[in-house]
C-alpha cells in the first residue's frame, strides 16, 4: 500500500490506546500511551507492508471514545511541529541569503534591514569561520571554529 494514505482509527478503552489501520487488513496494535501507540503503529505499517526503515508514511487519524480536549491537543501538537519545521527552514534561508548578500557587497546594516534583524545578529551569522548550528527549536547559534 506504499504511496497511499493509511487511515487509522484510534480508540481508548480502560486506559489503553488501540489503533487499527482501517483501509489495510491486519494492521492493529495497542499501547499504554498515545506516543507509544503512534510508534507501534508506524512500526506495524512498516513491517506489514515491508517498507524501508526511512520511508515516510502518510496517515490520517480519526478518534473514537477519546475526549475532544485530547484530540484538540493533538492538533495543537501538529501545528507546533509544523511551526518549528517552518522556523528551522527560515533560519537556514536567512543564513543563506545573508551570505549571498554579503558576497554581493551589501553592508551588514543593509542586510540587517532587509532581514529585519539586528546588525549584531547578522554579524554573528556572517562571522568568518562561524559554524551555524540549528537547535531543536530551529534557532541558530554561531560559534567561531576552534583552531586545531
- The one-digit pLDDT tens for each residue of the chain (148 residues) are 556 899 999 999 999 999 999 999 999 999 999 999 999 999 999 999 999 888 888 999 999 999 999 999 999 999 999 999 999 999 999 999 999 999 999 999 999 999 999 999 999 999 987 655 544 444 544 444 444 4
Residue 53: per-residue pLDDT? 84
Pick the CATH number of 85-131 from 3.80.10, 1.10.10, 1.10.1660, 1.10.3470: 1.10.10
Cα 113 to Cα 109: distance, rounded to the nearest angstrom: 6
pTM of the entire predicted model: 0.68
Q: Which three cell numbers stand for residue 14?
A: 480502560
Pairing of strands 59-64, 6-13: parallel
Q: Which three cell numbers stand for residue 97?
A: 541569503
Fold of 6-66: Double Stranded RNA Binding Domain (3.30.160)
Domain definitions of the chain by residue range: 6-66, 85-131
Amino acid at each position: 500500500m506504499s504511496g497511499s494514505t493509511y487511515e487509522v482509527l484510534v480508540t481508548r478503552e480502560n486506559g489503553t490506546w488501540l489503533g487499527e489501520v482501517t483501509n489495510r487488513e491486519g494492521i492493529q496494535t495497542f499501547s499504554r500511551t498515545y506516543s507509544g501507540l503512534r510508534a507501534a503503529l508506524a512500526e506495524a505499517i512498516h513491517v506489514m507492508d515491508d517498507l524501508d526503515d526511512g520511508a515516510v508514511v502518510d496517515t490520517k487519524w480519526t478518534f473514537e471514545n477519546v475526549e475532544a480536549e485530547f484530540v484538540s491537543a493533538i492538533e495543537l501538537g501538529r501545528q507546533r511541529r509544523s511551526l518549528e519545521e517552518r522556523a528551522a527552514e527560515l533560519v537556514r534561508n536567512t543564513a543563506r541569503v545573508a551570505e549571498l548578500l554579503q558576497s554581493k557587497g551589501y553592508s551588514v546594516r543593509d542586510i540587517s534591514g532587509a532581514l529585519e534583524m539586528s546588525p549584531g545578529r547578522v554579524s554573528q551569522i556572517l562571522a568568518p569561520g562561524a559554524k551555524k548550528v540549528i537547535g531543536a527549536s530551529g534557532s541558530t547559534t554561531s560559534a567561531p571554529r576552534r583552531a586545531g
